[in-house]
Structure formats: structure tokens, C-alpha cells
Amino acid sequence: MYKRFLIIFVAFVLMLAASSPAVDDPHGTANSIDCGQCHIGHNSMGDILVNATDSLVSTLCLSCHTPGGWTPMAKTLSSSDKADPGVSGTSHAWDVPADNPSRGASTPTSQTLLDHLTADSRITCATCHDPHSNSNPPFLRLDNSADALCLDCHAGRDNSSVRTYTGSELSHPVGIALPSAAEYHNPPLDTDGNPQPSDGNLTNDFALLAGDVVSCTTCHGVHYTDSNSGTTDGP
């Protein structure tokens, strides 16, 4: 145990020395955030040397990303925002087991997500987000422009799982383009019955991919989503 800690600590110090600055803004100089605000070298919990009171990375994230956190910010989250479908919540859950067949979720397959589950295989903020790099905005571990992040964990709901009539629980199609309005569909309508985005509230519009393709995020938001298409989402 001690040896493992020492190896990780030495590796951390070496990487610290070799990488400056290694954090993209706004997690860097723009907000005067340095490595030490998130990492500590000694006596930290867990194996990732983060500055939290337990081994859950989310505690660290929420020390800033919460109302009244270290740094004032517009978009905050609290534990009570975690979704319990049909009950409450406005945000995708975190600190929950990755393998949850009742939600069509299974352990991710990409190494980058697998590497950032907790030791007991739960998902945290840092499973989906890389706090260091904004290569895939907003700080995502995978480019989610075509749902790659969602489908890595919700593989059971990808397009191979629909329309197969196997008798098992299936799901709404994704990866399929809406038929053109000329065929037999209306364009998507707002709650007032007018074609989107005529009511001026863009947060309740379906977000179709290029070519009018339906994806998970056509219907689902990730954070600040109240599941009411008549209201404005987000702070």
C-alpha cells in the first residue's frame, strides 16, 4: 500500500515538474487555479492525490461547482440535482455504479472512461469530464458530437438495440434521420404547436445532429434539465 502510494507520489511530482501549465482555462491561470488547489501530495485519500475529503472526485469538483463554492460561478450543481427518473433531479447522476441494467447502463469500454471510474466502479464527474483538458469542450473525455460518450456507457441503447423485436427491453431509435417534412412528418413543434424555434426558447428545441439525425441528446440534456419542454433549461 505504502509502496504504491510512493510510486504514485513520485510519478505525480515528476509529471508536475514536466508539465507547466497542464490545465486548460477556466481551470488554470484565468481563475488563478493551480495544481495545488485540486491536488495534494501527502495524506490525500484514495489513489489519485486529489484534494477532497473522500476518494470521490465529485466532492472535489463540487467544492467549487456548487452554490457558495470557492469560486463564484453561474453554473453550479448540488447533490440534490442528481436525477432519479420519475422522481426528482435535473442532472445526470454521478457517484453511482457504472453497471445499472435498469437504466440501460453498463461498464464503459473505452480505456479513458474505464481509467476514471472509482475503485468500486462508480461514475464521477471526472469519468465524463477531464478536468485538465478542453480538447473536447466542455472538458469531456470523449467527443460527444455524435453521442460517443453517451453510448460508451449506454451501449445497450445504440441503434443495434432497436427494431430487432427480440422481446427484450428495447429503446427509441437513435442514429436515424427524421423523414423529411414532405414525406409524412411535421417539422419538430414547440409546446405551443408552432415549428421550432418559433417561441424563442432554444432550450426546449430538439437538438438534431447534421442531416436531422436523432441522437440521445436530441431528447436528453445532461445538466440543468427539468424535463419540461415548456420551460427554459439551465441557469
Please identify, using beta-carbon distances, which residue of 16 and 45 lies nearer to ligand HEC. 16
CB 38 within 8 A of CB 51: yes
Q: Tell which residue, 70, 75, 1, 78, has the closest CA to residue 38.
A: 70
Closest C-alpha to 60, from 82, 80, 33: 33
Nearer to ligand HEC, 58 or 204 (CB): 58
Minimum CB distance to ligand HEC, residue 2 (Å):
19
Cβ burial of 66 (10 Å; 0-12, 13-18, 19+) is middle
User: What's the CA gap between 225 and 231, in Å, rounded?
Assistant: 10
Considering the complex, state which of residue 156 and residue 199 has its C-beta at the smaller distance from ligand HEC: 156
Kindly tell me which of 150 and 204 has the beta carbon lying closer to ligand HEC.
150
Tracing cell 501527502 back to the chain, one arrives at: 42
Task: Name the minimum Å distance from CB 196 to ligand HEC.
Answer: 14
Q: Distance between CA atoms of 93 and 73, rounded to whole angstroms?
A: 21
Output the smallest distance, CB 224 to ligand HEC, in A: 7
Please, which residue, 76 or 199, has the CB nearer to ligand HEC?
76
Minimum CB distance to ligand HEC, residue 20 (Å):
6
CB of 235 to ligand HEC, least distance (A): 9
Nearest to 158 by CA among 173, 145, 144: 173
- Buried residues in 208-219 as b, exposed as e (16+ CB within 10 A): bbeebebbbbbe
Minimum Å distance from CB 65 to ligand HEC?
Answer: 4
- Whichever of 16 and 199 has its CB closer to ligand HEC, that residue is 16
